[in-house]
Structure 1
Amino acid sequence: NDFWHLQDIRAGLGHVQTETVAMFVPQMLNLQAIEGISFKKGCYMGQEVVARMKYLGKLKRKMYRLTTDAPLLPTPGAPCYLPTKKQSIGNIVQAANADNNHQELLVVLTDEASKSDTLIIGEAPEQAVKQQSLPYDTDE
């Protein structure tokens, strides 16, 4: 199971899970970067909100790929914090063990938080994180 999750994480493919339903809009999961969403056709629940974000809004959070050596695998939806702030700056999309001491994560974060090398994830103590590249460009 971790093998497939790890491959999706490395490919930058975040999936909505039971714990994260209604937590993200498609752009937060970088779906526009991989042509996983159409702004030209279709009719679906939430289309108006998604289109409004594309044409009128500025996305405040997007998905990043991080690695960490934390002892526990975070659960999808777990909130993330900067050590200096009490307000959540993001959420775990998915996580997988890469080996016994190493985890890879997809995390929706604010731009400010994406520059940090330390995060608090869920109830865990603060931990070092390192941003990894995604196989696609997220700048629109």
Structure 2
Amino acid sequence: MTNSAQIPSSTAASTQGLAPLSEWGLILVEGPDAATLLQSQLSNSVLGLKRTIAGEIAHGHDVRLVGYCNPKGRLLASAWLGLFPQSAESEDRFALFISRDIAATIAKRLSMYVLRSKVKVIDASNDWDVCGAYTSLPLDSVQTQQKDSFALQLPSVLAADKSFERTLIAYPKNTIPNSDADSQCLAYWNTLEILSAIPRIVMATQEQFVPQMINFESVAGVDFKKGCYPGQEIVARSQYRGAVKRRLQLANCENTAQASSMAKPACELFHSSDSNQPCGMVVLAAQDAYDRSRINFQLECKLEALEAGEIHLGSPNGPTLQIESLPYPLIEI
């Protein structure tokens, strides 16, 4: 693939587009000790990343999915991380693309561990705009680039019988290039995010999940060899003792007014055989951009609830959810 920070023009919204992502924010961690700080706090290793200069796209092993856990091993945040110095001669600057509603609190929490280290943690969400570019065309076919931006490529997603490349891009405030970045483009981006089955923590789901409960280790969000970080012992114990009996699943239901009102992160799920207690919750949800008659979900759910019966959204009598296959194999626990 090319290394230019390229932005597809949205000639056909279902094929390629650029969507402003108002729900996404940005944390910058910079300085000589930035890698040491992040290595001690995150679930994945940040070592060995290639320095990606502004105007280029980080991809492959130079993009890391990371989690930030509390001492009990519950995820406070998830983020996509790359190493983007301001210039080839500049100090390290890591960028964490993260849900905007938790960016300020996570930046503040990381700052607590700076102490005398030579590192700054900045919630840059008000100074940068985050966009999502997607295309089913070869990346070499898109033309536009902006040298002040930085970007990282996410795993591709299969949708509507096409394989889509996805890129998260940060632009300095008010410098997003002209594009057909309308609500339709956002609907396609959100659909692709759900279908990726890669979870994103938002404020409503903070501290709800050990990483394995939402397949975080199966999508390369945990490095079990990297050493200590908050909650590391519990995460490792869950992996090696088989203590997790819940997993992230993909699902859908009919797009009714009732379903739409409940299709939100942390909405509880109920199994038809047990109306007294929830069997899981919504991780992310979005209307299907290819079939507006349905809503797509990422769910966290008890494995035993998948064996028989029905799973309902929001209440024991809520909309029935149809479970779908995951696009990747699970690491067995």
Task: Give me the identity figure in percent.
Answer: 29
- Report the AA paired with residue 314 of structure 2: G
- Note the C-alpha offset of 1:123: 4.2
Of the structure 1 ranges 100-109 and 37-46, higher mean CA displacement relative to structure 2 is found in: 37-46
**Whole-Å Cα distance in 1 between the matches of residues 195 and 300 of structure 2?**
15
Q: Which residue of 1 aligns with 2:250?
A: 65
The 3-state SS of whatever aligns with 2:304 is helix
Is residue 113 from structure 1 mapped to residue 305 from structure 2 by the alignment? yes
**Whole-Å Cα distance in 2 between the matches of residues 58 and 5 of structure 1?**
32
**Whole-Å Cα distance in 1 between the matches of residues 227 and 194 of structure 2?**
28
Which of 278, 288, 301 is matched with 1:88 structurally? Answer: 278
Matching of residues 127-138 of structure 1 within 5 Å: 127-138=319-330
Which of 231, 240, 243 is matched with 1:46 structurally? Answer: 231
Q: Which residue of 1 aligns with 2:217?
A: 32
- Note the C-alpha offset of 1:93: 0.3
How many equivalent pairs are there? 140
Quickly say closer, same or farther: Cα 1:66–1:116, change in 2 above 3 A: farther
Answer whether contact 2:270 2:316 (CA < 8 A) is retained.
no
**Whole-Å Cα distance in 2 between the matches of residues 31 and 112 of structure 1?**
20
The 3-state SS of whatever aligns with 2:217 is helix
Answer whether contact 2:282 2:300 (CA < 8 A) is retained.
yes
Quickly say closer, same or farther: Cα 1:97–1:117, change in 2 above 3 A: farther
Quickly say closer, same or farther: Cα 1:121–1:129, change in 2 above 3 A: closer
- Note the C-alpha offset of 1:16: 0.8
- Note the C-alpha offset of 1:45: 1.6
| CA displacement 1:61-119 (0-9 Å, x = unmatched) | 00000011042331101111112311111010000100432011010111122245632
Q: Which runs of 5+ in 2 are unaligned?
A: 1-185
Choose between structure 1 and 2 for higher RCO, CA contacts under 8 A separated by at least 6 residues: 1
- Report the AA paired with residue 222 of structure 2: I
The 3-state SS of whatever aligns with 2:218 is helix
Q: Which residue of 2 aligns with 1:101?
A: 293
- Report the AA paired with residue 120 of structure 1: H
The 3-state SS of whatever aligns with 1:32 is coil
The 3-state SS of whatever aligns with 2:322 is strand
Q: Larger % of strand: which? A: 2
- Note the C-alpha offset of 1:4: 2.3
The 3-state SS of whatever aligns with 2:321 is strand
Structure number with bigger Rg: 2
**Whole-Å Cα distance in 2 between the matches of residues 83 and 2 of structure 1?**
31
Answer whether contact 2:212 2:244 (CA < 8 A) is retained.
yes
Q: Which runs of 5+ in 1 are unaligned?
A: none
**Whole-Å Cα distance in 2 between the matches of residues 133 and 62 of structure 1?**
12
Answer whether contact 2:271 2:316 (CA < 8 A) is retained.
no
- Note the C-alpha offset of 1:120: 2.3
Quickly say closer, same or farther: Cα 1:129–1:123, change in 2 above 3 A: closer
The 3-state SS of whatever aligns with 2:189 is helix
**Whole-Å Cα distance in 1 between the matches of residues 321 and 228 of structure 2?**
39
Answer whether contact 2:218 2:330 (CA < 8 A) is retained.
yes
